Structure 1
Amino acid sequence: MNPTQIREHLQTFLSPSEIPSDQTAFLLDQRKRYTSENCLVVQPQSVENVQKIVRFCSEHRLPITPQGGNTGLVGGSVADGGIVLNLGKLNQIRHLNLADNTITVDAGCILHHIQTAATEAKRFFPLSLASEGSCQIGGNIACNAGGLNVLRYGTMRDLVVGLEVVLPNGEIVSHLHPLHKNTTAYELKHLFIGSEGTLGIITGATLKLFAPAATTETAWVGVDSIAQAVELLTQIRNQFAERLCSFELISAYALELSSQYSKLSQPVAAEWHVLIELTDSLPRDDLGDLLATYLYENGYENSVLAQSEQERQNLWNLRENISESQRVLGASIKHDIAVPIAQVADFVETCSADLQKNYPEMQLVVFGHLGDGSLHYNCFLPIVDNRVYDEYEDAVNSIVYQHVLANHGTIAAEHGIGSLKTHWLPHVRSADEIALMRVIKSQLDPHNLFNPNKLLPKNTA
């Protein structure tokens, strides 16, 4: 069934506003690597219409690709035929429950809007991402997003209390009541968190809220090595415990790029840099002094403490603008990886040496969330024309992932597997694990209609 025929059928139960007249913006992925083809984009305005669309697809054996804010980097929300189901018009805050410290939302709610609703209620929703102005919470859940505050609050898997999911047969599994303890059989919500839309379409979620920070202290510390940064992390955790909210690692080159892009001075000169943020739900005048004193007494004098909110924002801008600042280098081969924190230094040292032995002209931009061991490890080959750099990608990935796996890490820490990394999944998950995943997929989606050819490798058996 072609897109015109699909449109004719869907027009019998969807309103004109639920089938965008201009579909272009939904067809190209964030990195402009993948384009949806031979498909129709729909934007249902109710959960009931999501069910109707799914039942229609099931009846006609049409693939259905869920899409949130389309901010992913691994080709997870592009389609080859069938329907792209964009959740952008399912975007209401359903309920705020201060007694249970939860907020119930539609899956198409933009992350920033949820943060704002929590703030207005004098609460805090901790998920924080560079794309928070456009990414949608359903996509965040489907990819088990992490972001800047994982160290204290965990990933989306830790922040979801309950889910509402439309299954491939059009039925709903819904547990949105804020039940904080439940030991009744399997916890099914964890099947869908991180499943990248391959098992069901998330239409609603109940999320944890927290007390807002009454005190925030932010420091920028220059260190000689990643090993020294890891030692500092260990010490700060021991000294300040749950007040440690963020612990970001930035290479000298990444800082140089961001400083030029942001038109902000580099806080200190060093080979490696750490951005530390402590928060407390109580007003405390002494927390900054305690942090400054601790850094000085333990040999971390090459540091600055933000003295105002503007200075704090400047420090965070230097961190958050790294991604944009890289664009001057041209096309990149990006790696969203994680290794145990104790292995980060060894990974960076050995992998970087191996890459630059094979590609002496390569420029590496390294930064990320040292507090949970995840890194953005981006490789640039200036001599390679942007149009042909894909030819180098498998070779570069082979080197990087070899070192990731040697250090007991993972090839996907935040953005998922999508289309880009399916052939790498057998390197990080055992044959038995993948077989079990296939069983789960076939039971819930026997016709392989939900986001086909994503996450799981092609079955060659």
Structure 2
Amino acid sequence: MNADLSAQFAAFLDNDEVVAATPDLLIDQRRRFTAAPDVVLKPKTVDSVQRIMRYCFERKISVTPQGGNTGLCGAAVAQGGVLLNLSRLNRLREINLADNSITVEAGMVLQQVQEEAAKAGRLFPLSLASEGSCQIGGNIACNAGGLNVLRYGTTRDLVLGLEVVLPDGELVSHLQPLHKNTTGYDVRHLFIGSEGTLGVITAATLKLFAQPKSTATAWVGLPDIDSAVGLLSLVQGHFAERLESFELVSRFALELSAGYSSLPKPVDAEWHILMELTDSLPNDSLPDYLAEFLYQHGFENSVLAQSEQERRDLWQLRENISASQRSLGTSIKHDIAVPIAEVAGFVRECEPALQAAFPEIRVVCFGHLGDGSLHYNTFLPDVMSNEVYEYEDRINTIVYEHILSHKGTIAAEHGIGTIKKHWIPRVRTAAEIALMRAVKAQLDPHNIMNPGKLLPDA
């Protein structure tokens, strides 16, 4: 920490806005990266953020915005400059039921956004494993996905308006819950998914929906992913918008989670689907409709939740996959997506290619088949620590080459950060990268906003 720089900020900020550097702010969630900022700031107001940015812009001091520090790609790790933690900007500004919207500050924890919506009788549908600690500003900055993208879309689809402090301290605020607006370029979409490289998101107006009054949850065992894709198409054709989640789980992933959760495996199969239907109207027959549908189409290796506890148990098996993997050591994670029709081909081809290079490799495959995104995590049994990252480039090359051959992307919902930026030229054209650089240069001419993240090195 730089005592002189801390004193400079303390001269125009409240005393408690200049804080000590603590491990929860400095060490990323996977304990892979450790930040080394010159100063850590926790502004309490948007005005403080503006003053900080003006000061940094004039003196060309780098600024790394940080939310809940739950990222997996190193995007919120500062090397020098200011680590700008937004956790104190956490107020509820407005709930507008006429427009089905909620306006919150960037530091509000996602779970609290969900709870505030529920108090008003509404649903905010973004749902992630880290929802108890991640913050809505960070969710917006990396365009988070989660469990309900199939029905409600990614974070981008849930944002009606944004308030952003630009690198020079200017405030751009369009928080009106406008459902239609064709007045030129939609600037908010520049900042959604920008990973803090263009400005500091300080507040957002988000879409709300009716709370579900009926739920039907089923776990289906299948011989292969092609069968799962076929089931998805049938369910969408029959139940339409009622299909909220459609999660894919491999046999190995289920075995890990069942042991960790002390829960029985619902069925025996090579591949599994956890699906959930919801309806905003009370409908006690919805589970019966789903059971009959599965039986009529030959998906008899299934169980339906008969109670809320059984539903929770099924979801616990899905949600505990990540935690259960820790027994295998440190993983090289892949947050990838392909067109849904390409998922089976990718999975069939990629693991044998990995095994040819690393015979002992283990793959834990699960994810959101309903939107084509997978968590494809690889483990080397003989390397239990972070030393596994020595093999990251070789493993990533195999996985990403297969992803690209199936028309996919290397980043579905976790973002780019530092660990994937050198792959950007493989998924974006030279013209697209040049356009990104031009936007960055226009908004951030001194390159102070989260430098070294997202864009590939020149």
Task: Report if TM-score (shorter chain) is over 0.5.
Answer: yes
Contact preservation (8 Å) 1:161, 1:207: yes
Aligned-partner SS, 2:76: coil
The residue identity in structure 2 corresponding to 1:78 is: V
CA separation of 1:387/1:22 partners in 2, compared to 1, >3 Å: closer, same or farther? Answer: closer
Cα displacement (A) at 1:439: 0.3
Contact preservation (8 Å) 2:39, 2:81: yes
Deviation string for 1:241-273 (max 9, x for gaps)? 000000000000000000000011000000000
For residues 240 and 423 of structure 1, the distance between their equivalents in structure 2, rounded to whole angstroms, comes to: 42
Cα displacement (A) at 1:16: 2.0
Aligned-partner SS, 2:5: helix
Summarize the alignment of residues 436-447 of structure 1 with structure 2, pairs less than 5 Å apart.
436-447=435-446
Aligned-partner SS, 2:351: helix
Cα displacement (A) at 1:158: 0.4
Aligned-partner SS, 1:80: coil
Give the corresponding residue for 1:95.
94
The residue identity in structure 1 corresponding to 2:357 is: N
For residues 88 and 168 of structure 2, the distance between their equivalents in structure 1, rounded to whole angstroms, comes to: 22
Give the corresponding residue for 2:81.
82
The answer to whether structure 1 residue 432 and structure 2 residue 427 are counterparts is no
Cα displacement (A) at 1:383: 1.3
The residue identity in structure 1 corresponding to 2:84 is: L
Contact preservation (8 Å) 1:93, 1:104: yes
Deviation string for 1:181-235 (max 9, x for gaps)? 1011010000000000100100000000000000011000000000000000000
Cα displacement (A) at 1:38: 4.1
For residues 311 and 323 of structure 1, the distance between their equivalents in structure 2, rounded to whole angstroms, comes to: 20
Give the corresponding residue for 1:41.
40
Contact preservation (8 Å) 1:199, 1:444: yes
Cα displacement (A) at 1:275: 0.3
Aligned-partner SS, 1:388: helix
Contact preservation (8 Å) 2:159, 2:206: yes
For residues 369 and 426 of structure 2, the distance between their equivalents in structure 1, rounded to whole angstroms, comes to: 24
Contact preservation (8 Å) 2:75, 2:195: yes
For residues 388 and 288 of structure 2, the distance between their equivalents in structure 1, rounded to whole angstroms, comes to: 49
Deviation string for 1:1-40 (max 9, x for gaps)? x721210101112122212235332111111111111421
% of aligned pairs identical?
Answer: 63
Aligned-partner SS, 1:202: strand
Give the corresponding residue for 1:182.
181
Give the corresponding residue for 2:456.
457
Give the corresponding residue for 1:125.
124
Cα displacement (A) at 1:41: 1.0
Give the corresponding residue for 1:391.
390
Give the corresponding residue for 2:409.
410
Deviation string for 1:358-403 (max 9, x for gaps)? 1111111000000000000000000125242111110000000000
Contact preservation (8 Å) 1:3, 1:82: no
Cα displacement (A) at 1:353: 1.0
Give the corresponding residue for 2:359.
360
For residues 270 and 232 of structure 2, the distance between their equivalents in structure 1, rounded to whole angstroms, comes to: 17
Give the corresponding residue for 1:197.
196
Aligned-partner SS, 1:26: helix
Summarize the alignment of residues 274-423 of structure 1 with structure 2, pairs less than 5 Å apart.
274-423=273-422
The residue identity in structure 2 corresponding to 1:438 is: R
The residue identity in structure 1 corresponding to 2:313 is: N
For residues 17 and 302 of structure 2, the distance between their equivalents in structure 1, rounded to whole angstroms, comes to: 53
CA RMSD, Structure 1 to Structure 2 (Å):
0.8
Give the corresponding residue for 1:207.
206
For residues 56 and 364 of structure 1, the distance between their equivalents in structure 2, rounded to whole angstroms, comes to: 48
Segments of structure 2 that go 5 or more residues without pairing to the other structure are: none
Deviation string for 1:132-183 (max 9, x for gaps)? 0000000000000110000000001100000000001100111001111101
Aligned-partner SS, 1:25: helix
The residue identity in structure 2 corresponding to 1:59 is: E
The residue identity in structure 1 corresponding to 2:34 is: T
Contact preservation (8 Å) 2:161, 2:174: yes
For residues 231 and 97 of structure 1, the distance between their equivalents in structure 2, rounded to whole angstroms, comes to: 40
The residue identity in structure 1 corresponding to 2:284 is: D
Give the corresponding residue for 2:115.
116
Contact preservation (8 Å) 2:144, 2:413: yes
Aligned-partner SS, 1:332: coil
For residues 79 and 22 of structure 1, the distance between their equivalents in structure 2, rounded to whole angstroms, comes to: 12
For residues 38 and 269 of structure 1, the distance between their equivalents in structure 2, rounded to whole angstroms, comes to: 50
> How many residues matched?
458
Give the corresponding residue for 2:65.
66
The residue identity in structure 2 corresponding to 1:380 is: F
The residue identity in structure 1 corresponding to 2:127 is: S
Aligned-partner SS, 1:203: strand
Cα displacement (A) at 1:356: 1.1
Contact preservation (8 Å) 1:23, 1:41: no
For residues 404 and 255 of structure 1, the distance between their equivalents in structure 2, rounded to whole angstroms, comes to: 24
Deviation string for 1:99-134 (max 9, x for gaps)? 110000000000000000111110000000000000
The answer to whether structure 1 residue 217 and structure 2 residue 181 are counterparts is no
User: TM-score, normalised to structure 2's length?
Assistant: 0.99
For residues 15 and 301 of structure 2, the distance between their equivalents in structure 1, rounded to whole angstroms, comes to: 60
* The 10-residue stretch of structure 1 (21-30 or 193-202) with the greater mean CA deviation from structure 2: 21-30
Give the corresponding residue for 1:13.
12
Contact preservation (8 Å) 1:363, 1:380: yes
The residue identity in structure 2 corresponding to 1:258 is: S
For residues 226 and 4 of structure 2, the distance between their equivalents in structure 1, rounded to whole angstroms, comes to: 60
User: TM-score, normalised to structure 1's length?
Assistant: 0.98
Give the corresponding residue for 1:137.
136
The residue identity in structure 2 corresponding to 1:406 is: S
The residue identity in structure 1 corresponding to 2:224 is: S
* The 10-residue stretch of structure 1 (25-34 or 219-228) with the greater mean CA deviation from structure 2: 25-34
For residues 457 and 309 of structure 1, the distance between their equivalents in structure 2, rounded to whole angstroms, comes to: 47
Aligned-partner SS, 1:250: strand
